[in-house]
Amino acid sequence: MELLVDNLTVTRGGLPVLEGVTFDMRPGQVVMLRGPNGSGKTTLLRTLAGLQPPMEGSVSVEPEAIAYGAHADGLKSTLSVAENLQFWASVYGTHDIAPALAAFNLNGLTTRAAGNLSAGQKRRLGLARLLVTGREIWLLDEPTVSLDVASVGLFADAVRAHVGQGGSALIATHIDMGLEAREVDVTPFRADPNGSPRVATAFDEAFT
């Protein structure tokens, strides 16, 4: 499944932050999304994931192919590690959580409530959800936050396995994870700050 982005303009608070964004991502590829803090990487990922509309341009992708991993881990604190993964597996129509537990070294934590995990353990559990989605395209926003070096290695291995099976991953990050990847720097696409502001809609404001 390909992700094709053509002449995309994305907005934050009703104002353009990136203009003319154009790139593609094909099966088996990792693309690193680069740019300074506040440059619009998160806004771009949210737009690609279908959580907010573009101002201009197009995104060609099947929405059912996308798994989006944001800053929040998306966990239910009262459920155990295994119950959290079983919940998400049921949402996405998959069943076997064992590979996800193994990939992120969670087998020793299956019965522990998510609310009692450390920050790094929560992040590993949040990332393990990707493996039970069955989705081909991963869109990930700073996925290694709170992870130690060993856990970053686990994540990198999971990405390699995913793309090795024909998946793809677009990752906004500032660190080098040792992955073979293309880079897309959003800096050349930053909108002109002197451009004419657009009146923000209620929909835009919901995603600022």
DSSP string, 56-124: EEEEES-GGGEEEE-SS----TTSBHHHHHHHHHHHHT----HHHHHHTT-GGGTTSBGGGS-HHHHHH
Structure confidence at residue 193 (pLDDT): 67
Edge-to-edge, what's the strand order for the sheet holding 15-25? 15-25, 3-12, 56-60
pLDDT of residue 22: 98
Q: Are strands 137-141 and 3-12 parallel, antiparallel or unpaired?
A: unpaired
Condensed to tens digits (0 to 9), the pLDDT of residues 105-132 reads 999 999 999 999 999 999 999 999 999 9
Q: Which residues of the chain have pLDDT under 70?
A: 193-208
Kindly report, residue by residue over 6-19, the tens digit of the pLDDT: 999 999 988 999 99
Query: Burial level of 6, CB count in 10 A (0-12/13-18/19+)?
Result: middle
pLDDT at residue 205, as a whole number: 33
- Overall pTM > 0.85: yes
